[in-house]
C-alpha cells in the first residue's frame, strides 16, 4: 500500500509546499514563510529577498494573488502537470486555457492603467515560482524509467478531441470543482520515489492515453491492447491519487464471481492430496485476500462560489470599461478637418436626425475654437445662425407668439430655489419614475434625439458665441435672438395652485433651469450693449423676471457672513469663502442692463412697482450689517460683490417712482437709511487708513443712492426744476455744469457722524461733500 495515498488533501498540499520550499532554499532564493510555511534561514536577510514584492494572499498558505484573484500554487501545479508541463503549454500557446480553471479573467488593468494579458502573467509566475520544482520533478521521473508519468484526473480528461472537429489538438477540460484531485508529490528533498511505481490505475490510463499524456501511445485502440503491453497491471490496485480502492474494478470482479456461481460454472476445487514434491520443495503460499471496500457515507457539500455580479451585472468589468473610457485620448480639434459652412447649414436645414446631430456637434466645436483671439464671428455665418434660430423656434414652439400676452396681468416672481425645490419634491415622491413628465422623449419618435436636448445644444452654442465682444453686440442688435431665448425661459401661469410648468411643451423643468443659466451668462456678456427701447413690454418683463428669480428668494437674500458660515454647520465643514456663482452673475447682469438711462426708463415703464420693491428689499438684505459681515468683505471677491449690489441698488433708486422712493425712505422694517449710514461709517471712519481707497466706489454709490431717495423726485422728469436726465446722482448735468444741491435733511439728526466724521475724511471729494451737505441740512425753500 502507498502510505502517501492515505494523506488528506491538506496534508498533501503541505507536503507539496514543503518540497517546493526546500527546492528554492537549495537554490539560495527561499520563498516567503507566508507562502510555504517554512521560515527563512537564520543568516538570510529578508529585506534582500527577490520575492519581497510578491502579492501573497492571507486566505491560506500557498496562495498568491494574480489579477485580483487568489491562485493556489498546489492547484496550478496539478493543472499544468495535467496539460503536459509548462514547456508544452508554452510551445502550443495553451496558457490561456488554464485561466478558466483558476477563475481568472483574460485581461486586467496593470499599475500603468493599460490592459495586460493574464495568461502571460500566469506563465511568468509559474516559471519563477514552480519552474525549479518542475525541473527537479522531471529529473526524478527520468531517474526512474519504470515509473509511468502520472497524470492528473479531471472531469472529461479522457476526451482527446471534441466531436465533429477532427484534426484539432486536445484542449483542457472544463473548469474543475473545488474538491479536485491532484497527483502525489514527493517528500521534502525530492528523494523519496513515488509509491506503486510501475503500476497505474486502469481507468487513469484510459483517461490519459487519448490526450497524448502516455508514454507508449502508438495509435492502437485501448480496448484491443493487452494490459502488459503498455505496462499497466490488470489487477485492482490502490488509486495513485486519493489512496482509495478502485471501486469499479472491485465491483466488476465481484459481479463476475457471483455470475459464475449462479450459472454453475465455478470450477470445483480439487480434493486430492497435494503432491509430495510440491510440498517438499516449496513452502505453502498464503492465499491473497482481496480487501473489500468499506461503506462510505455520501455527503453533499455545496460549492461556495464567489459571486462577482450584482443584479446580473459584472461591476468590476463595468468599472474597468469606465476607467478605460476615461483614459482614452480625446480627438484634437485640428483633426476635425475642413468644415464647409454651407454644407453645415444644409445639414441643419434638412432636419434629418443624423445630419442634425453632425451639424450641432460641429457648430459647437467651431464656437470653442479660437479664431485669431476673436472666436467665430456671427457676421461670417449669418445663414447658419439664422437656421439655428429657426430650428429652436420650430422645435420648441408651435408657431409665433401672439401679442395678447403683452397686456397679461403680472404675477409674483417665481424664484429659482422654488423651482428647484418643487423639482426635487416630485423626483423623490413614491413611484416618481413611473409617472410621465413633460419634456420626456416620446416613444413614437424612434431613435431620434429628444427635442429638449436639441434646444439645450442650441442655447449652449449661442452662449459660446456671446463670449466675444463682436458677437455680443450682434446678439443685442438681432431682432429675434434674445426674444427667442427669453421665450424659452417663460413659464405657464399656475392654475388652481398647481406648480408652474414650462411654456414650451417639449421642455422639462430641468431644461428650463439650464436654459435660464445660459441666458443669464448671455446677458452678462451683452447686457451693457442691449437697447431695451426696441423691445416690447413682454420681453422686458421676462428679462427682469429671469434675473430677479435668482435674487429675491428670502432664504438666499442674506448677509455675506451668512453665506460664508451657514447656521448649524460645524466650522471644520464650512464651505469655501466664495460668492455664489449664479447670484453674482445675476446681479452683475442686472447692473449692466440697467446702467444706461434709456434702459432705466424702459424698466420704469414696463416693470410693476411690487417687483421693483421686492428686488430692492432683497438687495438691501444682502448688505453687510454686523462686524462679521464687514470682516468678510475685506476679501477681494466679496468687495467686488458688494460693489455690484450697491450699483444695482443705485439703479433701482434711480428708476423708481417718487412714491416708491418715499416708501424706501420711510419703511421702518427695512430701515434702509440706517443700514446705509452704518455702511458709510464702517467704510470711512472706522476703516483702516490704508484700506479706505478700496471702499471709495462703494461709499460713493451709497451716498448717491441716499441722495436720490432723499429727494424722492421723478428722475425722468426733464422739467427745469429737477436735475437733468443724465445726472447719475453725481450733481452734474449732461454738459458738466454744476448746480446747488438741495435736500430734505435725511441725516440731519446725525450731525456728529456725518459732519464731523465722514465729511472730514481726506477721501471725500467736492461732489461727495456737497451731497453730504444736502443730506444733513434742511433747505428752507424746499417744501
* pLDDT tens string 295-305: 777 878 777 77
Tell me the residue ranges of DSSP E strands in 95-168. Answer: 107-109, 115-117
Domain that holds residue 102: 3-157+169-198
Residue 266 CA neighbour count, 13 Å, CB half: 10
> Which are the contacts of 208, defined by CB distance < 8 A and separation ≥ 6?
151, 157, 214
- Work out the pLDDT band at 578, boundaries 50, 70, 90: confident
421-437, pLDDT tens digit by residue?
A: 999 988 888 877 777 78
Predicted pLDDT of residue 659: 93
Q: Return the higher-pLDDT residue of 773 and 216.
A: 773
14-62, pLDDT tens digit by residue?
A: 888 888 888 888 888 888 888 888 888 888 888 888 888 888 888 888 8
Distance of CA 540 to the CA centre of its chain: 41
Q: Return the higher-pLDDT residue of 246 and 122.
A: 122
Q: How many structural domains are present in the chain?
A: 2
- Work out the pLDDT band at 8, boundaries 50, 70, 90: confident
Last residue of a domain, one of 530, 555, 583: 530
Q: Return the higher-pLDDT residue of 186 and 112.
A: 112
How many residues would you count in the chain?
Answer: 783
Q: Return the higher-pLDDT residue of 293 and 428.
A: 428
Per DSSP, the residues of 405-470 read GGGPPP-PPPPHHHHHHHHHHHHTSTTGGGS--TTPPPGGGTTS--HHHHHHHHHHHHHHHTTSHH
Predicted pLDDT of residue 181: 36
Give the three-class secondary structure for 148.
coil
Predicted pLDDT of residue 644: 95
Percentages helix, strand, coil for the chain (3-state, rounded to 5) are 50, 5, 45
Among candidates 344, 363, 362, 336, which has minimal Cα distance to 461?
Answer: 363
Per the domain annotation, does 549 fall within a domain?
Answer: no
Residue 769 has pLDDT above 80, yes or no: no
Distance CA 252, CA 244 (A): 16
Residue 505 has pLDDT above 70, yes or no: yes
Predicted pLDDT of residue 727: 44
Residue 492 has pLDDT above 90, yes or no: no
Per the domain annotation, does 280 fall within a domain?
Answer: no
Give the three-class secondary structure for 66.
strand
Last residue of a domain, one of 530, 565, 588: 530
Among candidates 158, 157, 83, which has minimal Cα distance to 119?
Answer: 83
Residue 96 has pLDDT above 70, yes or no: yes
Residue 371 has pLDDT above 50, yes or no: yes
Per the domain annotation, does 753 fall within a domain?
Answer: no
- Work out the pLDDT band at 760, boundaries 50, 70, 90: low
Question: Mean of the pLDDT values across residues 637-642?
Answer: 94
107-121, 204-218, 564-578, 638-652: least confidently modelled range: 204-218
> Alpha helices, DSSP H only, in 58-98?
73-82, 86-91
Predicted pLDDT of residue 45: 83
Distance CA 605, CA 503 (A): 25
Question: Mean of the pLDDT values across residues 251-274?
Answer: 51
- Work out the pLDDT band at 256, boundaries 50, 70, 90: low
Q: Return the higher-pLDDT residue of 588 and 265.
A: 588
> Which are the contacts of 542, defined by CB distance < 8 A and separation ≥ 6?
486, 487, 489, 490
Residue 10 has pLDDT above 70, yes or no: yes
Cα–Cα distances (Å) from 328 to 36, 54, 318, 532, in that order, read 42, 30, 15, 48
Residue 634 has pLDDT above 80, yes or no: yes
154-187, pLDDT tens digit by residue?
A: 333 333 333 333 333 334 444 433 333 333 333 3
649 in Cβ contact with 582 (< 8 Å): no
Predicted pLDDT of residue 189: 36
- Work out the pLDDT band at 195, boundaries 50, 70, 90: very low
Predicted pLDDT of residue 303: 78
- Work out the pLDDT band at 404, boundaries 50, 70, 90: low
The kind and range of the H/E element at 64 are strand 63-66
For the chain, percent of residues with pLDDT exceeding 70: 69
Per the domain annotation, does 243 fall within a domain?
Answer: no
Per the domain annotation, does 16 fall within a domain?
Answer: yes
Predicted pLDDT of residue 6: 66
Predicted pLDDT of residue 482: 94
According to the 3-state scheme, what is the secondary structure of 475-537?
HHHCCCHHHHHHHHCCECCCCCCCCCCECCCCCCHHHHHHHHHHHHHHHHHHHHHCCHHHCCH
Cα–Cα distances (Å) from 656 to 412, 587, 635, 662, 713, in that order, read 18, 18, 32, 10, 9
Residue 334 has pLDDT above 50, yes or no: yes
- Work out the pLDDT band at 339, boundaries 50, 70, 90: confident
Per the domain annotation, does 177 fall within a domain?
Answer: yes
Q: Return the higher-pLDDT residue of 308 and 207.
A: 308
Question: Mean of the pLDDT values across residues 101-105?
Answer: 88
Per the domain annotation, does 8 fall within a domain?
Answer: yes
Residue 271 has pLDDT above 70, yes or no: no
Residue 159 CA neighbour count, 13 Å, CB half: 14
- Work out the pLDDT band at 328, boundaries 50, 70, 90: low
Predicted pLDDT of residue 428: 84
Among candidates 632, 768, 629, 654, which has minimal Cα distance to 711?
Answer: 654
- Work out the pLDDT band at 599, boundaries 50, 70, 90: very high
Distance CA 181, CA 192 (A): 21
Distance CA 13, CA 9 (A): 6
- Work out the pLDDT band at 150, boundaries 50, 70, 90: very low
| φ and ψ at residue 483, rounded to 5 degrees | -65, -45
Q: Return the higher-pLDDT residue of 247 and 540.
A: 540
Question: Mean of the pLDDT values across residues 233-246?
Answer: 36
Predicted pLDDT of residue 381: 93
Question: Mean of the pLDDT values across residues 576-596?
Answer: 90
Per the domain annotation, does 710 fall within a domain?
Answer: no
Amino acid at each position: 500500500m502507498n502510505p502517501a495515498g492515505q494523506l488528506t488533501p491538506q496534508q498533501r498540499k503541505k507536503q507539496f509546499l514543503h518540497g517546493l520550499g526546500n527546492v528554492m532554499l537549495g537554490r539560495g532564493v527561499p520563498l516567503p514563510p507566508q507562502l510555504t510555511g517554512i521560515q527563512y534561514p537564520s543568516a538570510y536577510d529578508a529585506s534582500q529577498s527577490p520575492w519581497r514584492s510578491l502579492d501573497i494572499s492571507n486566505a491560506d498558505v500557498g496562495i498568491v494573488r494574480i489579477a485580483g484573484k487568489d491562485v493556489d500554487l498546489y492547484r496550478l501545479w496539478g493543472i499544468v502537470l495535467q496539460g503536459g508541463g509548462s514547456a508544452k503549454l508554452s510551445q502550443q500557446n495553451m496558457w490561456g486555457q488554464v485561466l478558466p480553471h483558476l477563475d481568472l479573467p483574460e485581461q486586467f488593468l496593470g499599475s500603468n492603467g493599460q490592459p495586460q494579458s493574464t495568461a502571460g502573467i500566469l506563465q511568468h509566475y509559474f516559471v519563477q515560482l514552480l519552474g525549479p520544482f518542475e525541473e527537479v520533478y522531471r529529473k526524478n521521473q527520468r531517474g526512474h524509467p519504470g515509473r509511468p508519468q502520472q497524470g492528473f484526473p479531471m472531469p472529461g480528461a479522457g476526451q482527446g478531441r471534441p466531436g465533429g472537429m477532427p484534426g484539432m489538438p486536445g484542449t483542457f477540460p472544463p473548469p474543475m470543482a473545488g474538491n479536485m484531485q491532484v497527483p502525489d508529490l514527493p517528500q521534502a528533498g525530492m528523494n523519496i520515489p513515488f509509491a506503486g511505481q510501475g503500476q497505474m490505475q486502469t481507468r487513469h490510463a484510459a483517461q490519459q492515453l487519448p490526450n497524448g499524456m502516455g508514454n507508449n501511445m502508438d495509435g492502437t485502440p485501448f480496448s484491443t491492447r493487452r494490459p502488459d503491453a503498455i505496462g499497466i497491471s490488470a489487477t485492482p490496485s490502490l488509486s495513485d491519487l486519493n489512496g482509495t480502492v478502485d471501486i469499479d474494478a472491485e465491483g466488476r470482479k465481484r459481479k463476475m464471481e457471483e455470475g459464475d456461481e449462479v450459472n454453475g460454472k465455478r470450477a470445483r476445487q480439487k480434493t486430492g492430496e497435494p503432491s509430495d514434491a510440491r510440498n517438499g520443495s516449496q513452502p505453502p503460499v498464503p492465499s491473497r485476500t482481496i480487501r473489500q471496500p468499506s461503506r462510505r457515507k455520501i455527503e453533499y457539500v455545496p460549492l461556495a462560489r464567489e459571486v462577482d455580479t450584482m443584479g446580473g451585472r459584472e461591476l468590476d468589468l463595468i468599472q474597468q470599461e469606465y476607467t478605460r473610457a476615461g483614459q482614452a485620448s480625446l480627438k484634437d480639434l485640428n483633426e476635425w478637418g475642413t468644415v464647409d459652412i454651407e454644407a453645415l447649414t444644409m445639414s441643419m436645414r434638412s432636419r434629418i436626425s443624423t445630419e442634425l446631430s453632425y451639424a450641432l456637434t460641429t457648430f459647437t466645436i467651431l464656437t470653442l475654437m479660437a479664431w485669431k483671439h476673436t472666436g467665430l464671428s456671427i457676421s461670417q455665418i449669418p445663414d447658419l445662425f439664422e437656421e439655428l434660430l429657426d430650428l429652436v423656434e420650430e422645435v420648441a414652439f408651435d408657431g409665433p407668439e401672439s401679442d395678447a400676452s403683452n397686456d397679461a396681468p403680472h404675477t409674483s416672481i417665481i424664484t429659482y430655489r422654488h423651482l428647484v425645490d418643487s423639482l426635487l419634491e416630485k423626483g423623490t415622491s413614491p413611484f416618481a419614475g413611473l409617472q410621465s413628465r413633460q419634456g420626456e422623449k416620446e416613444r413614437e419618435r424612434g431613435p431620434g434625439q429628444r427635442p429638449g436636448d436639441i434646444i439645450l445644444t442650441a442655447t449652449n452654442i449661442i452662449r459660446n458665441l456671446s463670449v466675444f465682444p463682436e458677437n455680443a453686440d450682434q446678439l443685442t442688435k438681432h431682432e429675434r435672438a434674445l426674444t427667442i431665448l427669453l421665450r424659452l425661459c417663460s413659464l405657464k401661469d399656475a392654475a388652481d395652485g398647481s406648480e408652474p410648468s414650462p411654456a414650451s411643451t417639449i421642455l422639462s423643468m430641468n431644461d428650463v433651469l439650464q436654459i435660464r443659466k445660459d441666458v443669464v451668462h448671455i446677458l452678462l456678456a451683452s447686457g451693457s450693449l442691449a437697447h431695451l427701447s426696441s423691445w416690447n413690454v413682454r420681453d422686458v418683463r421676462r428679462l427682469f423676471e429671469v434675473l430677479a428669480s435668482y435674487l429675491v428668494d428670502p432664504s438666499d437674500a442674506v448677509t455675506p457672513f451668512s453665506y460664508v458660515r451657514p447656521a448649524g454647520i460645524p466650522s471644520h465643514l464650512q464651505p469655501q469663502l466664495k460668492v455664489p456663482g449664479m447670484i453674482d452673475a445675476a446681479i452683475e447682469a442686472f447692473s449692466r442692463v440697467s446702467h444706461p438711462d434709456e434702459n432705466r426708463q424702459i424698466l420704469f415703464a414696463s416693470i410693476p412697482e411690487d417687483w421693483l420693491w421686492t428686488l430692492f428689499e432683497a438687495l438691501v438684505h444682502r448688505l453687510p450689517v454686523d462686524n462679521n459681515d464687514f470682516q468678510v468683505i475685506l476679501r477681494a471677491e466679496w468687495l467686488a460683490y458688494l460693489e455690484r449690489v450697491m450699483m444695482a441698488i443705485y439703479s433701482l433708486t434711480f428708476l423708481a417712482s417718487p412714491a416708491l422712493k418715499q416708501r424706501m425712505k420711510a419703511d421702518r422694517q427695512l430701515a434702509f437709511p440706517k443700514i446705509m449710514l452704518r455702511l458709510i461709517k464702517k467704510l470711512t471712519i472706522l476703516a483702516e487708513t490704508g484700506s479706505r481707497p478700496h471702499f471709495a466706489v462703494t461709499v460713493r454709490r451709497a451716498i448717491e443712492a441716499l441722495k436720490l431717495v432723499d429727494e424722492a423726485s421723478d428722475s425722468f422728469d426733464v422739467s427745469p426744476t429737477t436735475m437733468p436726465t443724465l445726472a447719475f446722482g453725481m450733481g452734474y448735468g449732461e454738459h458738466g455744469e454744476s448746480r446747488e444741491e438741495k435736500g430734505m435733511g435725511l441725516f440731519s439728526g446725525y450731525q456728529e457722524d456725518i459732519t464731523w466724521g465722514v465729511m472730514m475724511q481726506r477721501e471725500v471729494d467736492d461732489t461727495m461733500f456737497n451731497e453730504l451737505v444736502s443730506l444733513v441740512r434742511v433747505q428752507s425753500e424746499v417744501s
